[in-house]
Amino acid sequence: MSHVMNLLIKGADLVGAGRQDLLISGGLIAEIGTLDAGPAGVDQTIEADGLIALPGLVDLHTHLREPGREDAETIASGSAAAAIGGFTAILAMANTTPVTDTAEAAERVLDLGRLAGLVDVQPVGAVTKGLAGEELAELGLMAHSRANVRVFSDDGHCVADARVMRRVLEYVRAFDGVVSQHAQDPKLADGRACCHEGELSGRLGLPGWPGIAEEIIVARDVMLARHTGSRVHVAHVSTAGSVEVIRWAKAQGIAVTAEVTPHHLMLTTDLVTGYDPTFKVNPPLRPIEDVEALRAALADGTIDIVATDHAPHARHDKEHAFIDASPGMLGLETALSVVSDVMVGSGLLDWAGVAQVMSVRPARIAGLSGHGRPIAVGEPANLTLIDPAATVTVDREASVSLSRNNPWHGRRLTGAVQATVLRGVPTVLKGALA
């Protein structure tokens, strides 16, 4: 018979509830209070003096590359990066080889995540077969499979055909699904578009990716959400114009949610001046005016959540001329530090707000009932312990991801994950895999 694991977390700052000890037993929070006597039968103690406890972080948008591109990332290595980043649940996008467009493919992702055992890996189902944008994938079979798929996305590609988008929205309503849209009109920003369209793209001779290509899809999709009564989620919002549309739609009561990436909250388009493909991402980095609008929108709730769009790429796909390199950046290990630095450091969000945008709301959007829960007796012990005062200098060589396309390399950020606990079991201690 296996022994029930008892974990004691001493003196963590439970935002709003002050400094408390947490006793965790059998994966659940068993007691909260001053447990100074040291309850009997404790197997492990974490000294959490000065650390903030948040519900385990949830990332609605990651690319784990397995199956098909295990040279860039695997479900195991991506899970490790997630745990280091303070995450207890992540959603794995469908743009793998083969595409996650069947129940079998979704169950395989789920099972590989369980095997890795560091974080709950929840598959995103493709909207269309092969991400081709034409025929709907096995939406119902994926939803009713063991993988219980609720989030559908052709991410990497836009569901550009309005008729297909309307159909999928009508279809997923039956099982409270949500469609996460990669908003990019393919005629206004085609496959070669790689730099925010403006003076800089002209000067650098790079094909422009104008904000309007995102905004018209966001505008169309919120109208389709209104028309169908379904939920639409806007992936990686990158422009002030998209924020305006989403703000309007929410005011109408339309069921739209939106995410912003850490990179779009901090990095600006001028970084591509040196043609370093590390800074190539889709949608592209934008000017400071957009970045500031995104920060304000996250602070006021117009943008609901932060999601990383963790997009590992092998060297041989990234180390090319800017225009030929694969778009994407690592994000899982650094997300909390970036949000801490840019949002908490500036006073735009407090830690309770970080819990909302990085745990509570993403769990709710994805329908993950065991995550994003209050830190309270009887709840699953999915937790992240954060040192708000720690200063880290990001070193891409220290990453547990298999890829090195890390735009944060060399940056000093304030705020760092110290420990992650998945259902009462530490996956990360003192910032390293447990």
**Contact set with ligand DOR (CB under 6 A):** 63, 95, 155-156, 182, 281-282, 309, 311, 326-328
How distant is the alpha carbon of residue 14 from its chain centre? 23
Catalytic residue among 13, 309, 341, 387, which? 309
- The residue sitting closest to ligand DOR, measured at its beta carbon, is 328
385 membership: H or E segment, kind and range? strand 383-393
In the complex, what is the shortest distance from the CB of residue 236 to ligand DOR, in angstroms, rounded to a whole number?
7
- CB nearer ligand DOR, residue 220 or residue 236: 236
Of 100, 128, 132, nearest in space to 113 by CA: 100
- CB nearer ligand DOR, residue 61 or residue 231: 61
- Three-state DSSP at 1 gives coil
In the complex, what is the shortest distance from the CB of residue 282 to ligand DOR, in angstroms, rounded to a whole number?
4
- CB nearer ligand DOR, residue 189 or residue 383: 189
Distance separating alpha carbons of residues 220 and 165, to the nearest angstrom: 10
**What six digits make up the tokens of 303?**
């943008």
In the complex, what is the shortest distance from the CB of residue 312 to ligand DOR, in angstroms, rounded to a whole number?
8
425-429 vs 432-433, strand pairing mode: antiparallel
Distance separating alpha carbons of residues 179 and 96, to the nearest angstrom: 18
In the complex, what is the shortest distance from the CB of residue 157 to ligand DOR, in angstroms, rounded to a whole number?
8
In the complex, what is the shortest distance from the CB of residue 168 to ligand DOR, in angstroms, rounded to a whole number?
18
**For the stretch 191-204, what's the b/e string if a residue is b when 16 or more beta carbons lie within 10 angstroms of its beta carbon?**
eebbbbbeebbeeb
120-123 vs 151-152, strand pairing mode: unpaired
Distance separating alpha carbons of residues 184 and 160, to the nearest angstrom: 8
- Which residue is it, tokens 């009713």? 144
Counting beta carbons within 10 angstroms of the beta carbon of residue 426, is it exposed (0 to 12), middle (13 to 18) or buried (19 or more)? buried
DSSP code of residue 176: T
Distance separating alpha carbons of residues 367 and 308, to the nearest angstrom: 18
- CB nearer ligand DOR, residue 351 or residue 408: 408
**CB 67, CB 96: distance < 8 Å:** yes
270 is catalytic: no
Question: Under the phi-then-psi rule, with left for phi > 0, alpha for psi from -120 to 50, and beta for the rest, what region is 12?
Answer: beta
In the complex, what is the shortest distance from the CB of residue 283 to ligand DOR, in angstroms, rounded to a whole number?
7
In the complex, what is the shortest distance from the CB of residue 402 to ligand DOR, in angstroms, rounded to a whole number?
14
- CB nearer ligand DOR, residue 60 or residue 281: 281
- CB nearer ligand DOR, residue 63 or residue 150: 63
- For 361, list phi and psi in degrees, rounded to 5: -70, -45
- CB nearer ligand DOR, residue 37 or residue 321: 321
If one counts every other C-beta atom within 10 angstroms of the C-beta of residue 146, the result is 10
**CB 174, CB 149: distance < 8 Å:** no
Instruction: Please give the positions annotated as active site.
Output: 309
